[in-house]
Structure 1
Amino acid sequence: MADYDVAIIGAGAAGLSVAAFAAQLGLKVALIERARMGGDCLNHGCVPSKALLAAARRAQQARDAARFGIRLPPPEIDWAAVRAHVRGAIARLAPNDSEARFRALGAEVIRASAHFVAPDTIEAGGRRHTFRRAVVAAGSAPAVPGIPGLAEVPYLTNETLFDLEDPPGHLIIVGGGAVGLEMAQAHVRLGCLVTVIEAAPGIAGREDPELVEGLRQALKAEGVALREGAALRRVEPDEAGGLAAVLEDGSRIAGTHLLLAAGRVPRLAGLDLPAAGIEATRHGIVTDLSLRSVSNRRVWAAGDIADPRGLGPRGFTHVCAQHAAIIARAMLFRLPAKLDYAALPRVTYTDPELAQVGLTEAEAREAGHTALRILRWPLSENDRAVAEGRPEGLVKLVATPKGRLLGASVLGPRAGDMAGMFGLMIGRKLPLSALAGLVLPYPTLAEAAKRAAGEFFVPRLLSPAAKRLAGLLMRLP
């Protein structure tokens, strides 16, 4: 008889969600975690980064207050107090992910490293534990690129950035994706010099270039130095005691701190997956669309470490919750469940935020949608954005000629708050008429989404035939 019904490796967002489901069903659950409960999201990622961004936003609001007739002195940054705010946010949320909570739910929490020793056995804490089902949710780690000279200089990742006792004088960030851009803006608003080095032709390479341009200008206006299309030749110690990044064009950028934000890699090392017959690639554990291992039917994978065939890995906390729901249906209840990312949102939490749900225009065309309707509504035509002095931004919708939404891109304040509306439309295959006809409170930024959807119907409503019909109908008694 197996020791556990479900053994879960990793107490991050994905593992905790699965453990909560299984334990509350009365199953015998082992939750194995070698580091901090809550994983990357609580301790090194979503929570501390958003707390830091919140502090930075307050500083920028103080600088911008004069535009609204409010005169304030330049903000003084108390770095110790900023750090206390970040730690306080983590501490306030930590009980939700704690050992005590999951033990109270009925799970056994094992604080140890874990690895497979057989297709149905995990070794952890000096003991072997057999299982009926297992879920690998070990997450991912910051990628450390093979930059010449990196061994000669200290560097930061998101796992060490929030431990700095003093603010960076000049933070050099390698990587212009979401993490790099968020931390660039946060630190420049908190009084640091910041340079972002991106090897690709442009920052935020996955996103719609039309909206990225607006974000680029916003970051530059606040003082973030962007070096795009810049190949990094090497890093080296600097005479002033810091470090320097040397680019292929020969330019040299001296700084005090180096942050690596060049992606993430799954935490496969140490799991000994071959001992359990679990197939994996460098992208993660290979699964089908129910997140079940293709080579060991006892095992599922969830979160960043899962590599579903045909979809690939996705490194977002909300994907972890989606994975847990799929596994609950497929593993716990034996119901048909398949992963679908058609309505998956992603947000870069800069200011303005850049949100994407579904396909960008380029992705839609690559997917074979040759006939598209592209619908736009600028925030300069949104009353709330104008009233708040934030008219820069855009809602861009990608739809089929018949009015089915394929994707939505939004650049603007709190753009991520619109993502749920678009996700519901795409996920439920609602027509654009549903959004165009929605009654929204006035004035809100979401009205820009409604107006963009309404643009789909304008050519028909204002066509010559429609005008003739309206004229004829007006003659009726």
Structure 2
Amino acid sequence: MTQHFDAIVVGAGQAGPPLAGRLSAASQTVAVVERKLIGGTCVNTGCIPTKTLVASAQAAHMARRGADYGVDTGPVSVDMAKVKARKDVVMLDDRKGVEDWLDGMDSCTVFRGHARFEDPHTLRVGDDVLRADRIFLNVGGRAVVPDIPGLSNIDYLTNVSILELDTLPEHLVIVGGSYIALEFAQMYRRFGAEVTVVEKGPRLASREDDDVSDTVRSILQNEGIEVVLDAVDIRITKHRNGFELTPRAGGPAIAGSNLLLAVGRRPNTDDLGLERAGVHTDERGYITVDDQLKTSVDHIWALGDCNGKGAFTHTSYNDFEIVAGNLLDDDPRRVSDRITAYALYIDPPLGRCGLTLEQVRASGRPALVGKRPMTKVGRAVEKGETQGFMKVVVDAETKQILGAAILGVGGDEAIHSILDVMSAKATYTTLARTMHIHPTVCELIPTMLQEMSPLE
């Protein structure tokens, strides 16, 4: 028998539950379908567990540095079983919070199973057939497993399965040089493992400017992480006690005990029956959407990682806000209005917003650039954390900030003072003339803006 709802939300990640809550509060009947874990990637295998592990790794790192601050800590050891147990508690508490929220919503029914379209208004979930006027797809993504010769012969880890480790790898080899790879690299090095990062490109964090990439590499290498670049022909050979990875023909082999694949993610759109609904995808499988996140079908929307408009918790949640604003609040909101912003959670972190310097240079527009090393930031010196720098690029004609990077202690928080000024469409002089609190990292942002020079 077909069950009828006002709305169906497929996927209980970051956008799904709050949208269900708004629709339920508007007296609409809602079905939420989740095939795996309530909370999606962020809660279960992304931000929440990984940043919990990062916190444990930082505690170990600071304990080892105790003598630098006049604190005698003695030998430092890491109990990986306790580290994992702490991570599990934080993650499970968060998941339960979302589950309880959904269960407590009026006129909201949660279905467990895989949803597939039967027609543009109908989805089958196991034996249940659901029909609705509006359908919202929040199906997320999963790790890419590359075609590497010899990979099928060994047990390998992804960003999901590595979270189940409760022992320390002897030598963790990570294939990939972007955000997930680098966070796990530093984390496990601080836990005590030998770590090697293998990247097929010429530099780490390739979407960033060269100076950011180079500094990230230095930060990691300073902690004893090996970095292998230009790994253009990776091959793997199984051995009794692990494996050997050859990054390129004729190159030296890397002997490892555990292999982590962190080379990107792909959307979970290949088994939804989208063709039966008339929902279009691009060549990479992302659902194509307009500026208000509507798909090629007028009553179907796509939110979160599956639409290719962002791969972060905050972009997914903002997708919810855009859809809710347009449908429920008579508040026209657009994806194109938001400013790119994200962080890389190595330590010290990278906070980023807007355009990179190279993107501005490629545009040909006249610009000003400011840069300040963290060695000149009093707060960083006091904390004994002076690696990195802050950088900003400004349109020389409009005086509006085009983008910024803060790679250094507090960078993930300090970047928001720049992001907020950009969002307000205020000129950089507004921030340059603002008095900030001393001693903070943010207080040097106005100073940096007062010392800019033309972009060459």
TM-score range, shorter chain: over 0.9
After superposition, the C-alpha distances for 1:106-150 in whole angstroms (9 at most, x for unaligned) are 221111110100011111131211111111110000011111111
Distance of 1:17 and 1:185 partners within structure 2: 33
Corresponding position of 2:365: 370
After superposition, the C-alpha distances for 1:187-232 in whole angstroms (9 at most, x for unaligned) are 0000001100000110000112212222211110111111012224
Corresponding position of 2:380: 385
Distance of 2:88 and 2:251 partners within structure 1: 40
Distance of 2:7 and 2:178 partners within structure 1: 36
Q: In the TM superposition, what is the alpha-carbon distance from 1:352 to its structure 2 partner?
A: 1.1
Where do 5+ consecutive residues of structure 1 fail to align?
308-312, 460-477
Q: In the TM superposition, what is the alpha-carbon distance from 1:61 to its structure 2 partner?
A: 0.3
What is the identity, as a one-letter code, of the residue corresponding to 1:142? Answer: A
- 1:437 counterpart (423, 429, 433): 433
- Partner SS for 1:446: coil
- Partner SS for 1:330: helix
1:56 aligns with 2:57: yes
For the Cα contact (< 8 Å) 2:203–2:214, is it kept in 1? no
Distance of 2:286 and 2:180 partners within structure 1: 21
Distance 1:128 1:334, change over 3 A: farther
Corresponding position of 1:187: 188
Distance 1:344 1:96, change over 3 A: farther
For residues 78-477 of structure 1, the aligned pairs below 5 Å read 78-98=79-99, 100-106=100-106, 107-239=108-240, 241-248=241-248, 249-281=250-282, 282-293=284-295, 295-307=296-308, 313-333=309-329, 335-340=331-336, 343-366=339-362, 368-402=363-397, 403-456=399-452
Q: In the TM superposition, what is the alpha-carbon distance from 1:81 to its structure 2 partner?
A: 0.7
For the Cα contact (< 8 Å) 2:386–2:409, is it kept in 1? no
Distance of 2:429 and 2:412 partners within structure 1: 22
What is the identity, as a one-letter code, of the residue corresponding to 1:372? Answer: A
Distance of 1:212 and 1:7 partners within structure 2: 43
After superposition, the C-alpha distances for 1:137-177 in whole angstroms (9 at most, x for unaligned) are 10000011111111111111111111113111111101010
- Partner SS for 1:280: coil
- Partner SS for 2:65: helix
What is the identity, as a one-letter code, of the residue corresponding to 1:289? Answer: D
Q: In the TM superposition, what is the alpha-carbon distance from 1:25 to its structure 2 partner?
A: 2.0
Distance of 1:385 and 1:341 partners within structure 2: 34
After superposition, the C-alpha distances for 1:303-325 in whole angstroms (9 at most, x for unaligned) are 00013xxxxx3110000011001
My pick for the range that moved more, 315-324 or 206-215, is 206-215
Distance 1:257 1:167, change over 3 A: same
Distance of 1:416 and 1:326 partners within structure 2: 24
Q: In the TM superposition, what is the alpha-carbon distance from 1:333 to its structure 2 partner?
A: 4.5
My pick for the range that moved more, 60-69 or 182-191, is 60-69
| Greater Rg over alpha carbons, structure | 1
Percent identity, please.
31
For the Cα contact (< 8 Å) 2:270–2:285, is it kept in 1? no
- How many residues are treated as equivalent by the alignment? 449
For the Cα contact (< 8 Å) 2:269–2:285, is it kept in 1? no
Tell me the C-alpha RMSD between the 2 structures. 1.7
TM-score (norm 2): 0.95
- Partner SS for 2:74: coil
Structure 1 runs (4+) deviating above 6 angstroms are none
Q: In the TM superposition, what is the alpha-carbon distance from 1:454 to its structure 2 partner?
A: 2.0
Distance of 1:452 and 1:345 partners within structure 2: 20
Distance of 1:389 and 1:213 partners within structure 2: 21
For the Cα contact (< 8 Å) 2:174–2:181, is it kept in 1? yes
My pick for the range that moved more, 182-191 or 330-339, is 330-339
Corresponding position of 1:471: none
After superposition, the C-alpha distances for 1:222-274 in whole angstroms (9 at most, x for unaligned) are 111110122243112124x2112112143211111111100000001220100
For the Cα contact (< 8 Å) 1:215–1:352, is it kept in 2? no
For the Cα contact (< 8 Å) 1:342–1:426, is it kept in 2? no
Corresponding position of 1:467: none
- Partner SS for 1:286: coil
Where do 5+ consecutive residues of structure 2 fail to align?
none
- Partner SS for 2:221: helix
What is the identity, as a one-letter code, of the residue corresponding to 1:243? Answer: F
Distance of 2:209 and 2:93 partners within structure 1: 36
Q: In the TM superposition, what is the alpha-carbon distance from 1:102 to its structure 2 partner?
A: 0.9
My pick for the range that moved more, 133-142 or 331-340, is 331-340
- Partner SS for 2:64: helix
Q: In the TM superposition, what is the alpha-carbon distance from 1:103 to its structure 2 partner?
A: 2.3
My pick for the range that moved more, 125-134 or 258-267, is 125-134
For the Cα contact (< 8 Å) 2:9–2:20, is it kept in 1? yes
Q: In the TM superposition, what is the alpha-carbon distance from 1:399 to its structure 2 partner?
A: 0.4
Corresponding position of 1:468: none
For the Cα contact (< 8 Å) 1:343–1:424, is it kept in 2? no
Q: In the TM superposition, what is the alpha-carbon distance from 1:21 to its structure 2 partner?
A: 2.0
Distance of 2:289 and 2:251 partners within structure 1: 45
- Partner SS for 2:335: coil
